[in-house]
Structure 1
């Protein structure tokens, strides 16, 4: 059962891309100058990841902080693209504001939920009738239930990956089999330090895990990246999706090189939506134990 307990403008020229970066002949019929793109970007990993990708393209970007009107600015052509939101947020905001004509150009990164424990070193040690602490809220509960399903600790009547309202709002009413008869308790993450020691496992995002003394790179299990509905995406105008500048940037944001950079730069607090050339070492399946390399999982790029 569940118990409910100002805009900063940065202009930078990125002209020193690698020698192997493809030369792009830009169609000047698109909006903006042919040698630059205006991208609205979120704080934290978005900016760092975008700058890395831009250096590889050798193109010049005008980067602005994404405000509440970011999607509308891309739709009306005052910005070329935006990279600050995951898929449910993008779909929800545009539907609520009546914004049409936008498309996902690249699926880039996930800030993954992970399953952690102070007392158990592997998933098979979590006992029958054990207790699991999850963050309070509709979306955190849904993500937590999908992660427990990924761990084979329970079974839902929906598969992970959908972005419909029904997919994103699963509750224990969607549980069709509870293999370990777990008790799931929702609590505000600010109260986690007081109760983590009294439960068998806890589900957290990387920041909360680190605040509570866990290594975000070494959970018992974490959300899978491929097909994750909470993937942060680059969005742009559907009409200009074939703009060579946007195509090049999107290709770099989904590249194996970018994935390898994310793995190296963020230590598990951010994971790439697309696989790197070398398999990651963070556990991604219930059969992988903490500290052991994950087995090869060949996955097609979206």
Structure 2
């Protein structure tokens, strides 16, 4: 006991001292001082600049001409004469447009399938007393510790006849053990009285899942859905292994143009060729836009779903 606490105990008495000590808030809950608030503001400003500056540089470079890019050593933050030549060249060639459509289809189908499998398996494993539940849960968790190598996975995909198909980009990664654990933990936190009441009314497991569990699990489903969508959207390695170039998603096309320095062929009749650097940055912008459009609608569920799924159960 500190000197201040001892003085308080003598002055107020033991019972009053205990109440005084219990009423005091922890240090981290106290209002920070003005210098500390200023320091936090400066740190937050620096972090925002570090995040926003590269994004603005990519957009500015994609809207710049060859001369302006060369004059600014390859990156332009605010172009003096913005031009959409890079974007018109990309969409005129058709390669990025087709890849964009394929990526949207793969992401939508893959996310729907992955969320469905994850929710159904998580609901089953969250029910206490399930026969073999521990075995199936341990099997799923082992995949987080011991992942198959490239060659075994390739041989399995080949034996299943999935080579050269879009299914090879979805099925090998259809279920994530990490997302399964999050959803299962969330569902275990749902009051069992609600499930029992629905079962007494004659509802089966599918009806309980649809009418009771899913409405209460919107937050965690939105979170894992975003995880799956981002994973499918950014995946390029499976495309490089399993499908030909005419079925490449946008992430693989982006890799070709940005890392390998390939150029995009414009359609016949195109007279103005955009600079290579501008085309590379334009492809990066196109690949970012869909995720940036979806994330704001799911952001309010993100923190709630992850934290609740991590601490319950």
**TM-score between the two structures when normalised by the length of structure 2:** 0.28
Q: Larger Cα Rg: Structure 1 or Structure 2?
A: 2
Q: Which has the higher strand share?
A: 1
